[in-house]
Structure 1
Amino acid sequence: MSLIHLIAGARPNFMKIAPLYHRLVREDWCEPVLIHTGQHYDPSMSDAFFQDLGLPQPDMHLGIGSGSHAEQTGKVMTAYEKILMDHPPAWTVVVGDVNSTMACTLAAKKLCLPVAHLEAGLRSRDRTMPEEINRLVTDVIADLLWTPSPDADENLLAEGVAPERIVRVGNIMLDSFEMVRDQVEAERVPESLGLSKKGYGLVTLHRPSNVDDAETLAALVESLVVVSTDIPLVFPIHPRTRKSLQAHGLESRLIEAPNIHLSEPMGYIRFMSLVLGSRLVLTDSGGIQEETTYLGIPCLTRRDTTERPITVTEGTNRLVMPNEVESSVRQVLNGDWPTGSRPEFWDGHTADRIAADLAGRV
């Protein structure tokens, strides 16, 4: 039996690892080993997602916790190297673009062990984003690059990656959604908040460019207050965002707005119940751009760039500048927003394609 290490470090990773874990555990040629680095260690940011996605307790938990980018990367490398030396896998599978992705790739390749990167080739071309650095480093040294879309293939080829290292498998995030869709539809979170289907907007903001600077955050808060007079908003607040809101004295402005429903971060099923019922989503997340395109929901991404341009060229996503939030919401409410379409291989069967590809390489 070939050991396959599946690395999960932060919440977006769990959603990408889950369908692959469930697919590989049914195979007789491999043994998937679930490794949680602990980069997100708050129960609301990790444990709930494991439960929602039917994942068992990790086989190994590195318990890294918070810290600077360098601290997290160094701690993950040191801890994972020990596992690699004691239990070398046939393949290490890393996903996404968090610090753990790059750190585990570095540790494995320093020991000349093969690495596959799931969700490879995405590029924002904004090197001020830590995630972009993680993507670039990981894709340069990983052996196998599983991509979600044609633009990702093109990015890698333009960077000189050999074509035989690139395999387009599709979007694993949508496998996660389809895996628990019945539970999502049964959850009825909007109803529990007194909201009607398609009668509210959903907000998620956590990126440093949006929430760390007082002036930028204050402008966003004011836009949300104005928008909420036209449509109620639900805002599950990321710990980083809440800390910044409190530090800059802005949390009370949201609390006092009668049509803004604030909550703690949610598990995957409850959160996707909100996405599914929403009229629109305002976000700076990467994965939500994909989920809204898949579901045909207008997505307003409060960023200057996106590493998922296919959600703009083919889907329902548009980049929105700070001074465009209110007008963009009005466009959606007036029915002036693209309906979009689903990209190829965004079909809920990505894990099947990955398993078939991996089986021929062990």
Structure 2
Amino acid sequence: MLISIVAGARPNFMKIAPIIDAIEEEEGISYRLIHTGQHYDKKMSGDFFEQLGIPEPHVNLEAGGGTQAEQTAAIMLKFEKELLANPSELVVVVGDVTSTMACAITAQKLCIPVAHVEGGIRSGDWSMPEEINRMVTDSITNYFFTTSEVANANLRRSGVTDDRIFFVGNTMIDTLLKQMPKLSKPYFWEELGLEKKQYLVLTLHRPSNVDDASQLKGLLKVLEDSEIQVPVVFPVHPRTCKNLEVFDIQLHNVKTVEPMSYLEFNYLVQNAMGVITDSGGITEETTVMGIPCMTLRDSTERPETCTLGTNVLLGSNPAALREALAKLQAGEWKKGTIPPLWDGKTAERIVGHISDIFKVEREKARLVF
């Protein structure tokens, strides 16, 4: 059995690594790894393949750059050629990036079934490109591998039957748990004089936070003026970096650094006093590590990080951030727990289900003929 595994952007790489490991332990399944090239610079792509032990892709579609529509079209055109040249029995897509949606559509147009790893999650915010990607992908997916009972319920409400839903856990946590012993001190640790539990980590990249000058300045001013007298380490997304210059924002307590490798970034998170972010994936990692997390968004597609984990949804009002920092300083942050099946064995369950699904399908075909 040949399956195609699609990765296109930084969040995907953490999710496919354990799936590939599990496939290599399973008899009767082979794979082609397709890198769409959605993220194409070294820090956003190459480092992850090296550090996570992901083999070289069988093909890189080199479809990065351009607008959302241009990128979607480029991925679909090139992925169609890949599937025609190398027909597979299943296309596995992960997460919610442009590549996820584009490759799911392409596969279905060629009558190849699709499995969506991390299916069913929803933020309810249609202004996020990721939410559109999730909804379109799930509307044409055959098999759903889910991270939570909330995702299962979302799928059932949309009409998906239970025989297509497989609650397996979170492959990103598989990667985190495997890589924890290898986490490495970032290059700037001594230069910034960092000490364990004596700094905060900040990540910002969503347009609602970084493309509006007053919003970005308001959030950063809270961190500059905070009564918590610890440095704030800010790995800066390329678009955010550009806006800091355009808006002429000067920082002192907030220390900007270049984008980091997986092992360095998670070392930074693991040893932080707390994390402030507008990312989704980081809220999962902080939940497993037990690190206080403040999310600067009005909605989240990962509610289990709030109901069970260490994450708190603050919205985008800088005043809410100020209050949350005071709570953290007072030692009043909630103690989280780890969601069910976030145990490092998700990929094994996924590959086991894929094997079972195709045994059943082949038996059906044998009986028909």
TM norm. shorter chain > 0.5: yes
Identify which range, 215-224 or 68-77, moves more after superposition: 215-224
Displacement of 1:191 after TM fit? 4.4
Q: Give the Cα separation in 1 of the matches to 2:51 and 2:289.
A: 20
1:273 aligns with one of 261, 264, 267: 267
Q: Which amino acid in the other structure matches residue 265 of structure 1?
A: P
2:257 aligns with one of 242, 263, 274: 263
> Could you tell me whether the CA contact under 8 Å between 1:24 and 1:31 is conserved in 2?
yes
Partner of 1:294: helix, strand, or coil?
A: helix
Find out whether 1:18 has 2:14 as its counterpart: no
Q: Which amino acid in the other structure matches residue 335 of structure 2?
A: T
Displacement of 1:9 after TM fit? 0.8
Displacement of 1:23 after TM fit? 1.4
2:282 aligns with one of 282, 288, 291: 288
Displacement of 1:261 after TM fit? 2.2
Q: Give the Cα separation in 2 of the matches to 1:244 and 1:92.
A: 38
> Could you tell me whether the CA contact under 8 Å between 2:92 and 2:114 is conserved in 1?
yes
Displacement of 1:26 after TM fit? 2.5
In structure 1, the residue matched to 2:218 is 219
Q: Give the Cα separation in 1 of the matches to 2:8 and 2:67.
A: 15
In structure 2, the residue matched to 1:355 is 351
In structure 1, the residue matched to 2:238 is 239
Unaligned runs of 5+ in 2: 359-369
Find out whether 1:60 has 2:59 as its counterpart: yes
Displacement of 1:229 after TM fit? 5.5
Displacement of 1:32 after TM fit? 2.1
> Could you tell me whether the CA contact under 8 Å between 1:226 and 1:326 is conserved in 2?
no
Name the TM-score, length of structure 2 as normaliser.
Answer: 0.93
In structure 1, the residue matched to 2:300 is 306
Displacement of 1:33 after TM fit? 1.4
In structure 2, the residue matched to 1:346 is 342
Q: Deviations over 1:236-281 (max 9, x none)?
A: 001111122222222xx12xx0x32211111100100001101100
Q: Give the Cα separation in 1 of the matches to 2:4 and 2:350.
A: 14
Q: Give the Cα separation in 2 of the matches to 1:5 and 1:263.
A: 36
Residues 336 and 190 of structure 1, relative CA distance in 2, 3 Å threshold: farther
In structure 1, the residue matched to 2:247 is 248
Partner of 1:126: helix, strand, or coil?
A: coil
Q: Give the Cα separation in 2 of the matches to 1:229 and 1:118.
A: 39
Residues 189 and 23 of structure 1, relative CA distance in 2, 3 Å threshold: farther
Partner of 1:128: helix, strand, or coil?
A: coil
Q: Deviations over 1:268-326 (max 9, x none)?
A: 00100001101100001111111111111110000000000011111110111322112
Structure with max Cα Rg: 2
Displacement of 1:65 after TM fit? 1.3
Find out whether 1:320 has 2:314 as its counterpart: yes
Displacement of 1:56 after TM fit? 1.9
Q: How does 1:1-362 map to 2 (within 5 A)?
A: 2-184=1-183, 186-187=184-185, 191-192=189-190, 193-227=192-226, 230-250=229-249, 253-254=250-251, 257=252, 259-321=253-315, 322=317, 323-362=319-358
> Could you tell me whether the CA contact under 8 Å between 1:5 and 1:35 is conserved in 2?
yes
Q: Which amino acid in the other structure matches residue 283 of structure 2?
A: Q
Q: Which amino acid in the other structure matches residue 286 of structure 1?
A: G
Q: Give the Cα separation in 2 of the matches to 1:227 and 1:163.
A: 49
Unaligned runs of 5+ in 1: none
Partner of 1:34: helix, strand, or coil?
A: strand
Q: Which amino acid in the other structure matches residue 43 of structure 1?
A: K
Q: Count matched residues.
A: 355
